[in-house]
Structure formats: C-alpha cells, structure tokens
Amino acid sequence: MHKNKPLPERPKPPSFKEIIEDVDCAPNDDVVFSPYFSSDDIKEKSTALEESYLETSELNIENESPQDEAYNQAVEFIKLTKKLENAPTLLDEQFRRLQELKSEVSKSINKLKESSEALQS
C-alpha cells in the first residue's frame, strides 16, 4: 500500500519590497516586468502595423499570379451568379409591392377628388 506523504509547504509570496526590487532590476526588454504601453506607444505601434499590412497587401495584389487572379474572378462570378439566381424572386416581390402601392395611391387620389368635389358643391 502507498502511504500518503504530506505535501511540502508552499513558498510564501514575495513581499511588496521584493516585488519592487525585481521590477527595478529587470532589463527593459523583459516582457514580464515591462510596464504597460503608454497610449502614444500604442498609437505608434498600431500605425506601424497598419502601414506594414498595407505595404504587404499592396504587394500581394500587385504580384498576384494569373492562377490567383483566375480563382478570384471565378469566386466573384459564382457570387454574381447566385445573386442573379435570386433576382427574379426579389423582382417579383418588389413588383407586387409596387402594385400594392399603386392601388393605395389610386385610392388616395380618388378620396381626394371626392373630398374636393364635396367642398366645391
């Protein structure tokens, strides 16, 4: 049978003074002890990342291979084809709605004419 040995005592957490000493002695590039970025640093880094992305994406677009270009055109063609397949249904719905609006407008015009005639009489 196994005997359960008691676990060793946990180490005590460092004191505030020890933590401050560790932070002060840490090199500037130590990610664990580096302070949070200031808002200026964040803006600077995000601008640099954005510029880097734009440069990279522009290069990718300019240096696109004929196969990539053909693939992108095929994908766009498929999207447009699906859109066109749904167009008749959408157009029918819009046409029905326009007919309803035409009927409502005609009724309103007739009511206005009747009101106008009643006022003139």
In b/e form, how buried is each residue of 6-19, taking b as 16+ CB within 10 angstroms? eeeeeeeeeeeeee
- Quick check: 28 and 34 in contact, CB under 8 A? yes
- pTM for the model stands at 0.37
Q: What pLDDT score does 102 carry?
A: 96
Q: Are residues 101 and 75 in the same domain?
A: yes
Domain that holds residue 74: 65-121
For the cut 80, the answer to whether the pLDDT of residue 36 exceeds it is: no
| pLDDT tens for each residue of 46-103 | 676 667 766 665 555 556 788 888 898 999 999 999 989 989 999 999 999 999 999 9
- Using the 8-state DSSP alphabet, how is residue 27 labeled? -
DSSP 40-96: HHHHHHHHHHHHHHHHHHHHHHHT--HHHHHHHHHHHHHHHHHHHHHHHHHHHHHHH
Last-in-domain residue among 27, 46, 63: 63
Q: Domain boundary at 28, 46, 63, which?
A: 63
pLDDT at 107 over 90: yes
Is residue 24 assigned to a domain? yes
pLDDT at site 98: 96
